[in-house]
Structure 1
Amino acid sequence: MSSFDFDQAEGLRRMLAGAQPRVVTFLSATPGDDKSAMLVNLGASLFQSGNDVLIVDACLRNHSVAYRLEMERHADLMQVARQECALDQVVQHAPQGFALALLARDGRLPQDAVEARRLAKAFDVLVKRQGGIVIVDGELNRDGSLALPALADSEIVIQVSTNATSITNAYGLIKRLAQELGRRRFGILVTGATEAEARVVYDNMASAASRYLAVTLSSMGSVPADEYLHRAARLGRAVVDAFPLAGASVAFRQLAGRFSGVRQTRGAHFGS
């Protein structure tokens, strides 16, 4: 099944199940600030295209979305699980238009199974209440698991660059995920690359994953290296807002369309 056919099947399942939120967990084999910058711009692009967007910061280290936006000291879902605050107090609104929620500040993890269930329930209620598109800024725990069991059922996209170390780390992520979650499809987003460079990275990774791991990858497209990304960041704005005609802005609008369920023009999709 091609990547687009897979997207159509996913869309049909969501339609038959009712207005279910689309949950996408992003992991990264690039430096931490690369992922946070990408997610801020993707969130802004999705919001500008008319989507309700919630980003859940599920990272336990710095360089997360909340840290990048200086919104990391707010109430979090861990406090909801511990009955220290209400769920409504968790959601913040970023200047770029999307909503933001923290899973847990300062690396605080559930202390027992009861607290873990409460945290999972708080996340589930938040996601269903939010609707639209939920993006999870995620990372793997030391044992290879995700921050919440529910994330295993989400779509998982891995960000990678053209750097050899990044590609090796991305393959390692896929291997750990496959061992933890079993055989399933993973999305690949190549950043800091031309379309031709991204195609080479994706094709090589897809071939290796299929041959050695029996895992199917799906291309989510690419975002080019662009000085306007850095200029927009210095202004505290998303590139699609500050410089709408920049190459990165075009790429993020295409990417937003892909996650909104709209088939993209040639250049945003490489095939299965």
Structure 2
Amino acid sequence: MASFDFDQAEGLRRMLQGPRPRIVTFLSATPEDDKGAMLVNLGASLAQLGNDVLIVDACERDYGVSRRLGLGRAATLADVAHQDCALNQVLHAVPQGFSVASLGVPQRGEGGADARRLAKIFDVLAKQAGIVMVDAELGPDGELPLPLMSSSEIVVQVGTSAASITNAYALIKRLSQQLGRRPFGILVTGATEAEAKVVYDNMSTAATRYLAVTLNSMGSVPADEYLHRAARLGRAVVDAFPLAGASVAFRRLAGKFALHAMPGLGRGGSAQAGL
């Protein structure tokens, strides 16, 4: 009976909390500029579909999306955690149609209090947004910056080169060692659909055989000069050149992300539904 009462209380708590926030954490095995371009254009494409999109730059070492958009010196969520500024001071609306915030690094000491506050602030922020896209990188031990990111959907961006594929596989191996068995999404950029299928099939076969890990294809984006032209204009390709091949691909990709969560990611990473 005690177990039944606990289950009832847990169920009621979940109902009162409402739906879990949609968080997608992105890691990349491609050059830093490719990752930034992908996030900006996917965010813009999701916003065009009517989604409330927030991109959180959680990069400490790499070239993150906030720096790409000229927000590298802005206040961070870590500053909010340390009570140096208010939450609304770290949210920045950009012309591409979404908002950007930088995670920052919690200050050391205080028994980890700042890190715990940072995790809570991120949780609050995620619940306010429709879709949260995290521009992330792994720490020295293969960990993600915050626990909530570890339980989110995780997508690895990969190119067609042998080096990129090798690096993406290494990322997935480190993640699986840190987080245990769970699915990961694969997004292939700079590739035709046929090339992307070869990359995904080969990676999926290797991950299943050697890591017992399931990969899910999240789609692909072709190489397109219009991506670079749009970036030079400070705009998203879907806005500046809506008929470009990359624009078509990003709209298709945005539709998939907006409608479906990655298979196998329910509460605590348990299997739920297929894409």
If the length of structure 1 is used for normalisation, what is the TM-score? 0.87
Name the amino acid aligned to 1:124.
D
Q: SS of the residue aligned with 1:260?
A: helix
CA deviations 1:11-56 (Å, max 9, x no partner) are xxx9998443210000000011110110000000000011000000
- Percentage of pairs with the same residue: 70
CA distance in 2, matches of 1:181, 1:128: 23
Residue 126, structure 1, aligned to residue 104, structure 2: no
Instruction: Tell me which of 183, 186, 192 is aligned to 1:185.
Output: 183
CA deviations 1:130-150 (Å, max 9, x no partner) are 2x1000000000110001111
Q: SS of the residue aligned with 2:144?
A: coil
CA distance in 1, matches of 2:257, 2:197: 19
Q: Residue 16 and residue 82 in structure 1: after superposition, are their counterparts in 2 closer, same or farther (change >3 A)?
A: closer
Aligned to 1:34: 34
Q: Residue 262 and residue 152 in structure 1: after superposition, are their counterparts in 2 closer, same or farther (change >3 A)?
A: closer
Alignment of 1:137-216 (within 5 A): 137-216=135-214
CA distance in 1, matches of 2:239, 2:71: 20
Aligned to 1:266: none
Name the amino acid aligned to 1:123.
F
CA deviations 1:65-116 (Å, max 9, x no partner) are 1111111111110101111111111100011010111101xxx344131111
Aligned to 1:84: 84
CA distance in 1, matches of 2:223, 2:16: 39
Name the amino acid aligned to 1:36.
G
If the length of structure 2 is used for normalisation, what is the TM-score? 0.87
Name the amino acid aligned to 2:196.
A
CA distance in 2, matches of 1:110, 1:212: 39
Max radius of gyration: which structure? 2
Name the amino acid aligned to 2:203.
M
CA distance in 2, matches of 1:21, 1:147: 17
Alignment of 1:1-272 (within 5 A): 18-104=18-104, 108-112=105-109, 113-130=112-129, 132-261=130-259
* Unaligned residue ranges in structure 1 (runs of 5+): 1-13, 264-270
Q: SS of the residue aligned with 1:228?
A: helix
Moved more, 60-69 or 116-125: 60-69
CA distance in 2, matches of 1:204, 1:15: 41
Report the aligned-residue RMSD. 1.9
List 4+ stretches of structure 1 deviating above 2 A: 14-21
CA distance in 2, matches of 1:120, 1:62: 21
